[in-house]
Amino acid sequence: MNKCLGCGCILQNTKKDEIGYTPKTNLNEVEYCERCFKINNYNEKFITNLDNINEYLTKEVNQKAEYVYFMIDFLNINNETLTTFKNLTCPKALIISKLDIIPKSINKDKLITYLKNTYNITEPVYFQSTKKNLNTKNLINNLENNKVKECYILGYANSGKSNLINKINSLYNDKINKITTSSIPNTTIDFIKIKINDHLTLIDSPGFTLKNVIYNNDEYNLIERVNPKKYIKPLTYQTKDITSLLIEDKIRIDANSFNSFTFYISNELYIERIFINNKKLTNLKRIELDIPANCDLIIKSLGFINIKKTCHLTIYTSNDNLFEIRNSLF
């Protein structure tokens, strides 16, 4: 069976609307499916749904993997993503990807200690950035020192798996077939084996999918802006009992008290402060949350808000499963 070099799917030339389609008649001559060709050459956007992907990935990897690097970016550190990491039974390490987006004020050693303590992580934790080429070769040296022959690169959608593999491949090999990457989730469809050298193969994989996200599948513009392109500048809003904070007309937070809210989300997202008597978004689902002092309110798929004082929040949102509360990262 011939596979697409860009996304790992099985190539076919009969069903135009299905995964793996190519108009070419001789499948042996095809390197990339039509979807990858259009993403790579025309920057076209596709949302592909992958059914039961989380269960499929965990099962396959637990049966087959010798070693796993699990990538997570700074904004997606939460119970849901780290539980997926912990459910992997093979030897593994956690990679905090996109180091270049982490606010400069954050002490990286403290962040690792915090992660290990808060989420009970016993495995090694490394930072990495493909964009700035930070710590890329060290990841490979670690594998070679531990005599690992085959390493799965796993992680949630858009954590940077395919970009990292392309980068490593280009550092070790002259002519490479690039895996397709994009800012839209689910670009990689199935496992893709990339031989780095005679004793090491990396395996790219489709991303795990978050159960709850702030955007709809077709909101390409929002999906792109959720992904920070450069380092996050934390934004602080002081509130009074008359203040509401809106994020992208998707979430409304009624503060109800004097407090300080610091947002750690992409700076391309729009935050608005309005009077609490303004009725905007109050037609959405209403939830009530008690927040202890100096905690992070995690909004899955977006990032988190550090809240200084203990408070009660009324939140309006179309999805009430987006939130987690944890002790402050800092």
Residues forming the site for Mg ion (CB under 5 A): 161-162, 188
CA distances from 84 to 87, 144, 186, 202, 238 (A): 5, 26, 17, 20, 35
Q: Nearest distance from residue 51's CB to ligand GDP, in Å?
A: 17
Q: Nearest distance from residue 156's CB to ligand GDP, in Å?
A: 7
Choose from Mg ion, ligand GDP, none: what does 326 bind? Cβ within 5-8 Å by kind. Answer: none
Distance CA 99, CA 134 (A): 8
Q: Nearest distance from residue 35's CB to ligand GDP, in Å?
A: 14
Choose from Mg ion, ligand GDP, none: what does 183 bind? Cβ within 5-8 Å by kind. Answer: ligand GDP
Closest CA to 20 of 7, 11, 32, 29: 11
Judged by CB, which is closer to ligand GDP: 157, or 246?
157
Q: Nearest distance from residue 324's CB to ligand GDP, in Å?
A: 22
The DSSP result for 274-303, as a single string, is: EETT--TTTTSEEEEEEE-SSEEEEETTTE
Judged by CB, which is closer to ligand GDP: 181, or 306?
181
**Interface contacts to ligand GDP, rule CB under 6 A:** 97-98, 100-101, 129-131, 155, 157-163, 181-183, 187-188, 207, 227, 229
Provide the sign of the torsion angle of the four alpha carbons 63, 67, 71, 77, taken in this order: positive
Choose from Mg ion, ligand GDP, none: what does 159 bind? Cβ within 5-8 Å by kind. Answer: ligand GDP
DSSP label of 144: H
Q: Nearest distance from residue 25's CB to ligand GDP, in Å?
A: 30
**CB neighbours of 169 closer than 8 A, spacing ≥ 6?**
176, 194, 196, 202
Judged by CB, which is closer to ligand GDP: 188, or 239?
188
Judged by CB, which is closer to ligand GDP: 186, or 319?
186
Judged by CB, which is closer to ligand GDP: 98, or 250?
98
Choose from ligand GDP, Mg ion, none: what does 100 bind? Cβ within 5-8 Å by kind. Answer: ligand GDP
Judged by CB, which is closer to ligand GDP: 223, or 307?
223
Q: What is the dihedral angle through the alpha carbons of 307, 313, 315, 320, rounded to the nearest 10 degrees?
A: 80
Judged by CB, which is closer to Mg ion: 162, or 259?
162
Task: Describe the strand order of the beta sheet including 271-275 as a list of residue ranges.
Answer: 271-275, 243-247, 251-254, 311-317, 285-291
Residue 239 bridge partners (DSSP): 259
CA distances from 233 to 105, 124, 236, 265 (A): 9, 28, 10, 8
Chain center to CA of 134: 18
Choose from ligand GDP, Mg ion, none: what does 169 bind? Cβ within 5-8 Å by kind. Answer: none
Judged by CB, which is closer to ligand GDP: 45, or 86?
45
Q: Are 291 and 297 in contact (CB under 8 A)?
A: yes
Name the burial class of residue 10, with classes exposed (0-12), middle (13-18) and buried (19+) by CB atoms within 10 angstroms of its CB: middle
Closest CA to 324 of 54, 70, 80: 80
Q: Nearest distance from residue 180's CB to ligand GDP, in Å?
A: 8
- Helix (H) or strand (E) holding 171, with range, is helix 161-172
Q: Nearest distance from residue 36's CB to Mg ion, in Å?
A: 11
Q: Nearest distance from residue 248's CB to ligand GDP, in Å?
A: 19
